[in-house]
Every structure is written in C-alpha cells, then in structure tokens.
Structure 1
C-alpha cells in the first residue's frame, strides 16, 4: 500500500516541524472499496528518552477516528492502551502527551460515515471517547495492531469491509456538503454554504448535527482557523492584519479572538513559537 509521509505545512497539527522531531506520522491508503467511507488510515510511532515527554497538539477536523493505542500515551478519556472511537472535538485544540515508546494505528472516517455504518448519531459522540466495541462489534480483535504490524492495513481493510453497507446513498448528502465547503473560499458564511448545497439553512443544520456532530457555522469557522494555521505554518502571508481580512475576518482582533479560543494562544504567539521550532 502506498503511504503519504507527514507534510510540515499541514494545517491541522500545530508546530508540525516540532512534531516531526518527536514522532513519525504516516497515512496508509485504505482498500479502494472503502474510499467512500475512510479518508485514510494513519499511524504514529515514537520513542523518547527516559523521563522525556512531548505534548502533541492539533485543531481537529470534523471527523471521527477509530484508534488502536499502545505504549505510553495520555489524552482526555484515554490513560491506558486500547481500541477507541473519538467523536468530533468541538471545543478547543486536541492535546496528546507522549512518553516512553508507543504507537497508534488510526482510521480517519469521512464525515458522516460512522453514523451510516453504525446508526449512532454523530452528535452523541461529540467531544466523547468511547470503547470501540460500543459501535463496532469485534473491535477488540484489533487491539494488538501496531504501526509495525506487517499486515496492519490488510487487517483494517478486512475489518471495515465486513461492516460497511452496500448502499452509500445516505452518505451522499453530507459528502456533498463537505466537498462544497472544501471547494469554497474561507470567507463563506453558513447561509452561503446552504445555498450552494441547495438546502435551507435549517435542513443543513439538522443534517450536519446528525451526520457530522456539529452545525454548519462551526464547520465554516473551523475551516477558517485551519486556513490560518496552514498559512502561518507556511509563512504565506504579508501581515497578520492582511491575513485576517483575506480569510474573511472583519479585522485582526476578530481573527485573534477565534484563533486563541481554539488554539490556546494568539496568532502572533503561535507564529513566533512555530518559527523558533523550525530553527
């Protein structure tokens, strides 16, 4: 299976260059028959000196992940190895503390896929971490997977191919919404997103909460912050003030408020810290 190695201009992981100094991320492709349901698999492995730890932070996308976690990893809802499902994280950044040695094997589902596969409304999983067996029977059989497991991808493929439905029609609506969002400028409003999807705003709100776990305004706002992170990581801007206006904020102060609420620090502070990590 082909893999894509971690890109340092990724707009989700904070301080991507520093992350790459502590851990290794790969994104193996799934079986072609799963591409409607799964964006990609992913693995993280690390081996840190005794007594050392590293906090990895990211601003998540509106997606649910199934993970097999081993070694020394700690995050909200997880303090021991196991197989978990993590719903969309809607509040702030997502922090994971790594120490010692360990690895994670993950399935990054496309928005809406877990709801169609399991029948569990996405809003019920928002900001939740649950044992994977609550949604996927037999998920505990994956507990021995590790990034170095030779047949890791094949076992994930077999597990999911046995569970996805043949009919994908239910997934099409949310897939169209996400595709429209990704193809649009970050200045777009939730109302404009509804218009482009050919839906009323209330219908769009219901669909997003059911299949994605959050409303369309959240999707638009989070996409804007992701765009800002990516541009700051790449140094692709003239001034913070011009970047704010270009991405659809009224001014730099409004960007700073939204950015800080999600990332935990101001755009200027993040820029300076990420820049130092690259030195």
Structure 2
C-alpha cells in the first residue's frame, strides 16, 4: 500500500491541532483529561487511533456525545474536510462509578451517551465548552469508589515503572492474587492487566522512536519480555496498525534516519 506522505516525519501537525486540559478538582477522581482535535484536510486522511485504557466520551458531527469503551487494538478514522471533536478521557476505573456496572461490557464498543441511564439526559448545553461539559457531569457525579481509585493507582504504577512486565508479578507487588487483579481490571478498566502492561511498554518504544534512537529490535523485544522479535512485532502491529520500523517513519527524528539527510536549503 502506497504511503500517505502526510503521515511521515510529523507532517500531520500541519493539518491537525490538539489541545488538552485538566479537570476541575471535584472531577479529578473520575476524569483524567479533556481533549480537543481540529483538522483541515483537502483530501481524505486515514488517521490511526492508538488505544489507551481510558473510557472516552466524545462528540459526533452534530455535537451529540457517544461513549467509547477501551479498544483492544488500533482503529482507523477517515478525516475529510474541516472538523473538530471534543472528548473526555476518564481515568482508568473512573467511568465505572458513572456506569454502575462492569465497563468490560463497553470494551471494543461505542454507544450513544443517551443509552447510559446514569448520565444526565440531553447532554451539555455546549458540548465543545469544558465548563458546560463539567456542569453536565456534575449533575450525575457519583460517590467516590475506593476500588476505582485502586484500579487507577495500579494502572499509574504500570505506566510509570518500566520494570513491570508480567501480570502475575504485578499482582504480587500489589499484594493480591492474579485472579483478583484480573477481576478488578475487567470490572473497572475494561481490559486485563496483561493488556495494560503491554500497552505502556509499547508506548515506551514509540518514545524512543520520537527521540530518533537507533533501536536493536531483537534486544528490545527481549527486554520487554517477548520470547522473540516476531511476537513483539505482532503485538506492536496489532496495537499501532503497522510494524515498528514502518511506524517509526511517522516521527521527524526517525524519518531523518530512514530517508537519509536532506539537502541544505539555499
């Protein structure tokens, strides 16, 4: 398949604008951050969306909200013309108190926010204004849930500690059994601890790509606990939509290495 040049070397930043904002203190136990994306494409562009362990609420073309469970793999969205999306990324475990049942039921699914009876009916008055969205969420603000806080704490541990490579060892580190940890993640996060560990370790790979590091792929696969490079490549491709060497070309520093030095401007 021919490569879209707008994917390479960070060129997508000329067509998209991303903004992020932190939630108000009373919503911080539940919401991780808000995000806004605007784009302007004269011809259709295939956007790769890489998953994180966050349930999301985001606007559609008419401003209506939909709930998106955690996606177990990458997704593709076609962007064409001008558009914008406002979204709420809940903390891992943070949507469970709103939903009132296991978030695993939402994994790999999107449903209209109106179908979630615990959310206030009608949606926010202005779905693209953070103050309006926060006021809407406060109308259904649940009580703090210690299990949700525990799930968020463990996910944060995974994200921050590169040495976390196996779910059974993580369970022991957390003072619980593997099955108990798996049940907590199914109920509150929507994916298992093994998936979350893999996601954050692979995220560290993309950080190396962004820095333009020369990567020993076989050695990296071993460092991440993979039996061989083929298993690492398979997991990376499932998560990011492309093999790692191809995906690396999306970053400016890595693109320099793959394409060779550019001629000096005169």
Q: Is 2:250 the partner of 1:257?
A: no
Shift of 1:240: 2.2
Structure 1, unpaired ranges of 5+: 1-13, 72-80, 147-151
Please name the residue that 1:112 is paired with: 93
Summarize the alignment of residues 54-133 of structure 1 with structure 2, pairs less than 5 Å apart.
54-70=45-61, 82-90=64-72, 92-133=73-114
- Cα–Cα, structure 1 residues 194 and 252, in superposed 2: closer, same or farther, change >3 Å? same
Q: Secondary structure at the match of 1:165?
A: coil
In structure 2, C-alpha distance between the alignment counterparts of 1:66 and 1:104, rounded to whole Å: 10
Summarize the alignment of residues 233-244 of structure 1 with structure 2, pairs less than 5 Å apart.
233-244=210-221
1:55-111 CA distance string (max 9 Å, x none): 21132111100001227xxxxxxxxx6310000001x21221111111101000001
In structure 2, C-alpha distance between the alignment counterparts of 1:188 and 1:221, rounded to whole Å: 8
Summarize the alignment of residues 195-206 of structure 1 with structure 2, pairs less than 5 Å apart.
195-206=172-183
In structure 1, C-alpha distance between the alignment counterparts of 2:142 and 2:195, rounded to whole Å: 29
Contact 1:186–1:224 under 8 Å retained in 2: no
Structure 2, unpaired ranges of 5+: 1-6
Please name the residue that 2:17 is paired with: 24
172, 188, 197: which one aligns with 1:220? 197
* TM-score, normalised by the number of residues in structure 2: 0.84
Please name the residue that 2:127 is paired with: 145
Q: Secondary structure at the match of 2:26?
A: helix
1:105-131 CA distance string (max 9 Å, x none): 100000111111220311100000100
Please name the residue that 2:31 is paired with: 38
Please name the residue that 1:6 is paired with: none
In structure 1, C-alpha distance between the alignment counterparts of 2:125 and 2:87, rounded to whole Å: 12
Please name the residue that 2:170 is paired with: 193
Q: Which moves more between the two structures, 169-178 or 59-68?
A: 169-178
Q: Secondary structure at the match of 1:181?
A: helix
Q: Which moves more between the two structures, 124-133 or 231-240?
A: 231-240
Q: Is 2:244 the partner of 1:267?
A: yes
Shift of 1:276: 4.0
1:227-262 CA distance string (max 9 Å, x none): 222222222344223332333334433321221232
In structure 1, C-alpha distance between the alignment counterparts of 2:50 and 2:149, rounded to whole Å: 26
Q: CA RMSD in A?
A: 2.4
- Cα–Cα, structure 1 residues 15 and 128, in superposed 2: closer, same or farther, change >3 Å? farther
Shift of 1:200: 0.3
Q: Secondary structure at the match of 2:95?
A: helix
Q: Secondary structure at the match of 1:138?
A: coil
Query: After TM superposition, what 4+ stretches of structure 1 lie above 6 angstroms from structure 2?
Result: none
In structure 1, C-alpha distance between the alignment counterparts of 2:89 and 2:185, rounded to whole Å: 18
